Chains A and B, each alone.
Chain A
Amino acid sequence: MARKLLLEHINVPGINTFDVYRQKGGYRAVEKALKTLTPDEVVEEVKKSGLRGRGGAGFPTGMKWSFLAKPEGVARYLVCNADESEPGTFKDRYLMTHIPHALIEGMIVSSFALGANTSYIYVRGEMMPQIRILEKAIAEAKNAGFLGKNILGTGYDLELYVQPGGGAYICGEETALLESLEGKRGNPRIKPPFPAIAGLYGCPTVVNNVESIAATVPIINDGGDEYAKIGIGRSTGTKLISASGNLVRPGVYEIDLGLPVEEFIYSDEYCGGIANGKRLKATVAGGSSVPILPANLTLKLANGEPRLMSYESLSEGGFATGSMMGSGGFIAFDEDQCIVRNTWNFSRFYHHESCGQCSPCREGTGWMEKVLHRIEYGHGKMSDIDLLVDVSKKIEGNTICPLGDAAAWPVASAIRHFRDEFEWHVKEPIKCLDTNYGLANYAEPIVKAEVTTGN
């Protein structure tokens, strides 16, 4: 059994209330940080832990914190990014629903470290039930003296507020999130200046993902060095993985980074194999934005060694034979799934979610959606396939924010690894409407699922 740092008490009845969370050792990190450590010492522990941003970029959290400008007399802000919208990712919803005080506790510790006296949790608007849960948890924590003026008599003040979004994927990008929090359209800002210098209301600001902030609690409780002992190489600690698609047991799992991908998919402790006794065709390992991989490259690196669930191993081989950790949104496709249809679906998503600020993304995502639609519906030409690659290359790297890259990579990787399936759609315009291309040759060797019971 892997260690559970974030989800240890997830099944305890009433853990969503302050009292039960406190009985189970909750808010010890706040007491320890505020009473025995200086803000800089808290930052130091997080640096030592090696914690990397859990929202997708994987940038070291402690380093991000150390960039925060601290001019005299200017407010500083911590903003939690709970705008979870990356297709395949639902870990933050799970955490906020079941154990909201883990996030509140992390917010207090992190705000203290950064010297913020007002902090916001920006939650996507559709998560109204979670917003209510967090508001209740904040009220409970405030009632117990962990928020508000002079917390625990230490002289530290913190007000914490929940801000609902309005339904826009782009607001998961940190500068778009700040625009949205200021009551504007979610158009990403040009960087520099980075939020650490000029963020919310032009003040120094840190934006961190829900899971990153929650992870500061075990880091402060046990020490950064202890946290860094878990995991492998520069992928330290535990990570929440959202598993979805054709799996026997989809759901949220906390894993030690470094777990073999094969074990994650097939062992009964985790996903339990592919549903309905089918075989694995492909995976998207880190949310819809990362490159899709065929089954063989999912389970093994190009050199035949097992691929691991870590930042380095998932990206091993670059985009030629690798993918990315991303947000940990692990989507599994069984042998019956159509890669062209899924790629079209993702392209429609990015077209819908493009903020429209940069032409390559605004126009390019629409073109890709249209071209993929015609291939999927039997009206494609052979030249369309290279056209898609061309368009994706012209979006990638040419936009203000990473949404352009995120829209380009799934298309480019699907064609890289499943080109024959695209060609087949062009060659068989009638057949492709009601038949699936199936597994074909590219996916050898595919592990036959041993578990045959579906859910």
Chain B
Amino acid sequence: MLKVEEQQPVEFSSALKEKFDEIISRYPKGKQKSALLPMLHEVQAELGWLSPNAMDKVAAYLDIQSIEVYEVASFYSMYFLKPQGKYMLEVCRTGPCCLVGAEKLMNHIEKNLGVKEGEVTSDGLFSWRGVECLAACGYGPVLQIGPEYTFYENLNEQKVDELIQDLRKK
């Protein structure tokens, strides 16, 4: 799982380090490991994914072992251990959304983007995948796009096509 992809040197910006320190201040002294999940979100928002180099840097910042970061990053579904498209479309694939057409929608996205689940389009712009329940069952089908996790509800094929077109133009 933690196969080493292209290893780029990682340098955290001073703005990011400031954010790290603010996060660490939320916990009692000596419990800085609590900052790990929020810090990984910040790193991923900046770099697009969590490279081993980036995770090692986070470990050093928190004064914990690298393995403590790897085991967390590989446990939670939101962290990407390899590069993704700039826009990762995450479509809910759980029961209630399927009752209102989520499976058809995923087939449509696959056709529109021309890549399979988990792959990246050749221009590097898009990836898509099915994810488990996003807690918006009454507004399904739904999808979200990180890193701010903007939410799109009551989707159909036309709305998704428009969304993809808008993102392309950005």
Asked if A and B are interacting partners, one says yes
Chain A residues in the interface with B (C-beta under 8 A): 75, 84-90, 92-93, 118, 124-129, 159, 161, 163-169, 180-186, 201, 242-246, 250-252, 284, 288, 329, 331, 333, 337, 341-342, 345-346, 349, 352-353, 355
Q: A164-B38, A167-B78, A186-B75 are in contact. Are A329 and B98 (CB under 8 A)?
A: no
Measured between alpha carbons, how far is A341 from B95 in the docked complex, in Å? Answer: 9
Q: Give Cα A72–Cα B161 distance, bound, in whole angstroms.
A: 61
Give which listed residue, A87, A182, A243, A252, contacts B133 with CB less than 8 A.
A87
B77 CB within 8 Å of chain A: yes
| B95, A89: Cβ atoms closer than 8 Å | no
Q: When chains A and B are docked, how far (Å) is the Cα of A329 from the Cα of B140?
A: 14
Find out whether the CB atom of B132 lies under 8 angstroms from the CB atom of A349. yes
Contact with A along B123-152 (1 / 0, CB 8 A): 000000001111111111000101111110
> Which residues of A are found within 8 Å of B78, using beta-carbon distances?
125-126, 166-167
The minimal Cβ–Cβ distance linking A449 to chain B, given in whole angstroms, is 16
B166 at interface by CB-CB < 8 Å: no
Contact mask for chain B residues 34-57; partner A; CB cutoff 8 A; 1 contact, 0 none = 111110110000000000000000
Inter-subunit contact B34/A182 (CB<8 Å): yes
B71 contacts which chain A residues (CB < 8 A)? 184-185
- Shortest B145–chain A CB gap in Å is 11
Q: How far is the CA of A185 from the CA of B40 in the complex (A)?
A: 13
Given contacts A246-B100, A349-B94, 11 further A-B contacts (CB under 8 A): A88-B95, A88-B133, A125-B149, A126-B78, A165-B37, A166-B78, A167-B79, A242-B137, A244-B96, A245-B137, A331-B137
Neighbouring B residues of A167 by C-beta, 8 Å: 76-79, 131
- Tell me, yes or no, whether B60 is within 8 Å of chain A by CB: no
The residue in chain A whose Cβ has the minimal distance to the Cβ of B149 is A128
When the two chains form the complex, which single residue of B36, B62, B94, B151 contacts A129, counting CB atoms closer than 8 Å? B151
Contacts of B68 in A (CB 8 A): 183-184
Residues of B within 8 A of A245 (CB): 96, 99-100, 137
Chain A residues within an 8 Å CB radius of B72: 166, 183-185
Q: How far is the CA of A164 from the CA of B147 in the complex (A)?
A: 13
**Whole-angstrom distance between the alpha carbons of A129 and B31 in the complex?**
26
The answer to whether A183 and B36 touch (CB under 8 A), given A288-B95, A342-B98, is yes
How many Å lie between the Cα of A7 and that of B150 in the bound state? 24
Interchain residue pairs with CB less than 8 A apart (26):
A88-B137, A90-B137, A125-B37, A125-B149, A128-B146, A159-B26, A161-B26, A163-B38, A165-B76, A167-B131, A182-B31, A183-B34, A183-B35, A185-B72, A186-B76, A244-B138, A244-B140, A246-B99, A250-B139, A329-B137, A331-B137, A337-B99, A342-B95, A342-B99, A349-B94, A349-B132
Q: Which residues of A contact B40 (CB under 8 A)?
A: 166
Measured between alpha carbons, how far is A405 from B21 in the docked complex, in Å? 41
Q: Is B28 positioned at the interface, with any CB of A under 8 Å from its CB?
A: yes
Bound complex: CA A84 to CA B95 (Å): 16
Report B-chain residues with C-beta under 8 Å of the C-beta of A89.
135, 137
Q: How far, in angstroms, from A388 to B140 measured CA to CA in the complex? A: 30
- Shortest Cβ distance from A198 into chain B, in angstroms? 15
Report which residue of A93, A183, A341 has the largest number of chain B beta carbons within 10 angstroms of its beta carbon.
A183
One of B33, B35, B76 near A166 (C-beta < 8 A):
B76
A90 to B96, CA, bound (A): 11
71-127 of chain B: CB within 8 A of chain A? 71-72, 75-79, 93-96, 98-100
| With known contacts A93-B136, A250-B138, A329-B137, A87–B95 Cβ distance under 8 A | yes
